[in-house]
Chains A and B, each alone.
Chain A
Amino acid sequence: MATIEQLAIFQITIPLIVAPLVFLLKNGNRAWFLTLVTSVAMMWVASQLLVHVLSVGEFVTQIGGWAAPWGIEYRVDTVNAFVLLIVSGMSSIVLMFARQSVNQEIESNKRSLFYTSWLLCLTGLLGVTITGDAFNVFVFLEISSLSSYVLIAMGRDRRALTSSFQYLVMGTIGATFILIGIGFLFIVTGTLNMADISERLSDTSQTRTVRTAFAFIIVGIGLKLAMFPLHLWLPNAYAYAPSVASAFLAATATKVALYMLLRFIYTVFGFEFSFDLPLSETLVILSSAAILVGSVVAIFQDNLKRLLAYSSVAQIGYMLLGVSLATQAGLSAALLHVFNHAVIKGGLFLVLGCFVFRFGTASLKLLSGKGTQMPWTFAAFIAGGLSLIGVPLTTGFVSKWQLVTAALDIGWWPVALVVLAGSILAIVYVWRAVEVLYFRPVSDDSQIVKEAPLELLLPTWLLIGANIYFGINTELSIGVADVAAHWLMTGTR
């Protein structure tokens, strides 16, 4: 039986080793199966890690037995074990959906390459989350980014290529900014280990170099996170990527970026240093703008995938709003929304995957009146949409409730108004989609389709069902988010 420290290393090594094997398989279905098995195994490992840190406490794995700060260490605590589970779990569920969707959307000779990129992306995302070394973060970030550019570029529409290129340019600038920031930290402290940096920074933190490092890192992560107004790459990337890639990236990539932001703000720079700077004011303005602008723009989208992508920009705003409150309750709300939004958006993008599977399009104009032909898929869309709005008994409601309570606790009532306005705008864009899909006359009668196959419906409803389950039974999600937030604020359990 492997020890828990060894399990932590498996999170990275196994997907990294399996990725080239998947490429060698050539056959799309076999490649899919191996990828799915690997991803589910990683989910199991992540759940073991989470159970361990919740019951025993955080632990450190030194790679190759090299002691930190010389060697690289993986540091697992409640926060990143939680994110690891979200990432590997979402990857597994979306992969269950992937086989038929990929078989339809991607040419047969490219399928094993698609799954190879998927695993590399998973490796990168898990690596960013688990590592305790600042430079290692950059390396894993680039692994995940490069492979996600490939995933996006595999979309059928030729615009997938241009949006992937745009993402590549903006993503590389973001990653290079992070690299500059880490460089400044290294210049000041002479170390790259996060825990070590934070220890040494406490003496020297009030220098211009450290503030510059902070600014570069925040802006760099902001680009990766699609923090308003650095979100320009996101709508196109999500809209033209293959359906499953949109679902995977929407549910995981931005969440990992948010985790990175929290890790740098709280663990590396420290709460006092970070919030002495005007971080709170900046974040509250940008995130409020993200919520309002993202939601308004979403109303005017014809392509449903673009609509959800703009709604993602707004939802990232909610997470950052929680962070900007600079209280433990706010942080807990942000972490909770990381999980809830992964479930909501993953589910909704899978619904669109079902529509695309049958109709070959996600354009509202072409789908007009056709919701009735796929009742189960359409019902899933409505359930997911209600959660996006934040109707009680859904996860969206729980997130917003926690966020508003946290804001009112410190008397920030305008924030509550912004959340409310965001929800009203969400009603508008969700209702508009429902109205067109259900009530409008069918644009052409020629195309009569069947309900999506069970293989697609099951994972979709698994996520939509999770939406409702975690909207009613919040013990698990809020419980873990609270413990994680407490850990970030105080460094103790």
Chain B
Amino acid sequence: MDILSHYNYWVAIFLMMTGFYVVIASGNLVKKLIGLNVFQASVFILYISAGVVDKGVPPILKEGASILYSNPLPHVLILTAIVVGVGTTALGLALAIRIKEAYGSVEEDDIHAQEED
């Protein structure tokens, strides 16, 4: 079955849309950041999926004539992307704390109401 054999991509698409929806629809800044994280995680899965080689083994060097390895490059790339994601989340949360101090709320509606004045 073609659709099932690509289930990992379906998972990625589902996560991507879920995360994207949360970022747009949620008015709570922390929830927005969670959505952003889910969104980014879907891309990580997309990359890792692309690195899989059929019947390939994890890319750890072994003695032996011809072993088929999975492609390690996407793993390395995603390690970098994860670090970037952690940095973004940390900065976002730090900003959320400062916003809470300045406005007394992390709800977008409350903040907008205060900015109107």
Contact = CB atoms under 8 A, between A and B. Distances in A.
Interface string B61-81: 000000000000010010011
A186 B98 contact: no
A186 B20 CA distance: 23
Interface in B29-61: 29, 32, 36, 39-40, 43, 46-47, 50
Nearest to B49: A187
Given A153-B98, A162-B111, A186-B50, A173 B39 contact: yes
A366 interface: no
Interface in A170-194: 172-173, 175-176, 179-180, 183, 186-187, 192
A146 B88 contact: yes
Given A158-B103, A165-B96, A139 B80 contact: yes
A173 B36 CA distance: 8
B102 A183 contact: no
A153 B95 contact: yes
A150 B46 contact: no
A158 B32 contact: no
Chain B interface, DSSP helix/strand/loop, else mixed:
helix
Interface residues of A, number: 26
A135 interface: yes
A19 interface: no
A37 interface: no
B80 A150 contact: no
Given A165-B29, A168-B95, A187-B50, A158 B84 contact: no
B43 A158 contact: no
A211 interface: no
B115 interface: yes
A161 B99 contact: yes
Contacts of B80: 135, 139
A179 B20 CA distance: 15
A332 interface: no
Interface string A192-207: 1000000000000000
Contact of A146 (B20, B91, B103): B91
Contacts of B32: 169
Contacts of A187: 50
Nearest to A180: B43
A310 interface: no
B23 A169 contact: yes
A186 B95 contact: no
A159 interface: yes
A183 B91 contact: no
A162 B84 contact: no
Given A161-B102, A168-B88, A149 B43 contact: no
A138 B50 CA distance: 18
A210 to B, nearest CB: 14
B19 to A, nearest CB: 9
Contacts of B27: none
A142 interface: yes
Interface centre among B20, B29, B88, B115 (most CB of A within 10 A): B88
Contacts of B111: 162
Interface string A148-169: 0110010000110110110011
Contacts of A142: 84, 87-88
A162 B99 contact: yes
Given A142-B84, A169-B23, A161 B50 contact: no
Contacts of A153: 95, 98
16 contacts: A135-B77, A139-B84, A146-B91, A158-B99, A158-B102, A159-B115, A161-B99, A164-B95, A165-B96, A165-B99, A168-B91, A169-B92, A173-B20, A173-B39, A176-B39, A186-B77
The 8 lowest CB-CB distance pairs between A and B, nearest first, are A158-B102, A142-B84, A187-B50, A165-B95, A161-B99, A161-B98, A183-B47, A172-B88
Interface of A: 135, 138-139, 142, 146, 149-150, 153, 158-159, 161-162, 164-165, 168-169, 172-173, 175-176, 179-180, 183, 186-187, 192
Given A139-B80, A139-B84, 11 more contacts: A146-B87, A153-B98, A158-B99, A162-B103, A165-B95, A168-B95, A169-B92, A172-B36, A172-B40, A176-B39, A186-B50
